[in-house]
Amino acid sequence: MEKLILKREVSGLVHTRGELWHNDQFICYTLEDPVRKVKIKNKTAIPNGTYEIIITPSPRFGLKMPRLINVPLFSGILIHKGNTAEDSSGCILVGAEKNEKGLLKSTVAYIKVYNLIEGFLKKGKVFIEIINKTEEVKEVEKPKLILSEKKEEIITTQPSTEKVENNKVDLSSKLKEQTIQSKQDLLVTKSNITWKNYFLNLWKSILHWFKIHLSHKLTTNQLN
């Protein structure tokens, strides 16, 4: 049994780059559709995992080609030539070189891969293990990420000196405003009390005058 290793980088929405290895020896570069959580037909890379490879005729290309079997939710996954993700439709493209857009010298790499798999199959079964390198890095660095997140939480929960000073200024301003408002309210209250007393005294004077006037009138009437 022989096993190829596909180390791919899950790094974007345009395509998925990778490298094909065998026994620590680099074979070629690879290119696939983007890795997605929800499959989009003909636009999604197959899940990472280990799959058996056979060589069988392809109705689409009319040639014998390496095919991955028993891929969950996928069928007809081939290893073939291609330059960009538009040539993939879920399959694995190979190239001897790469550029920003995709792969170069794909025919050279495909012949190399085909001959390698064909030779292995004469001795026994062949498998390919697909590893998402991005996920591996996340798992290794996970404790560091957790520590950094905790630090950020501590930093965010502790106010800076500048924020403390600003809070002091705000509190001082609010206290001044409250003091001024309290003084204004006190003046208004005093003013209201003064006017109230004035009208009360005025009313008392009027009542007193009426009493005197009424008493004088009654006395005059009695004399008459």
Mean of pLDDT values over 175-196: 64
Residue 197 CA neighbour count, 13 Å, CB half: 6
Last residue within a domain, chosen from 143, 174, 192: 143
Buried/exposed 69-78: b ≥16 CB within 10 Å, e otherwise: eebeebeebb
pLDDT tens digits, 35-61: 998 999 999 999 999 999 999 999 888
Beta strands 16-22 and 49-58 are unpaired
Q: Please give the pLDDT value at position 183.
A: 63
pLDDT tens digits, 68-90: 999 999 999 999 999 999 999 99
The percentage of the chain sitting over the pLDDT mark of 90, rounded to a whole number, equals 53
DSSP 85: G
Q: Please give the pLDDT value at position 145.
A: 43
Q: Please give the pLDDT value at position 170.
A: 61
What's the total number of domains in the chain? 2
For residue 74, tell me if it sits in a domain: yes
Containing domain of residue 113, as a range?
2-143
For residue 153, tell me if it sits in a domain: no
pLDDT tens digits, 100-152: 999 999 999 999 999 999 999 999 999 999 999 864 334 334 344 444 444 44
Question: Locate tokens 């990420």: which residue?
Answer: 145
Q: Clarify whether residues 79 and 181 are in a common domain.
A: no
Amino acid at 126: V
Contact 83, 99 (CB under 8 A): no
For residue 158, tell me if it sits in a domain: no
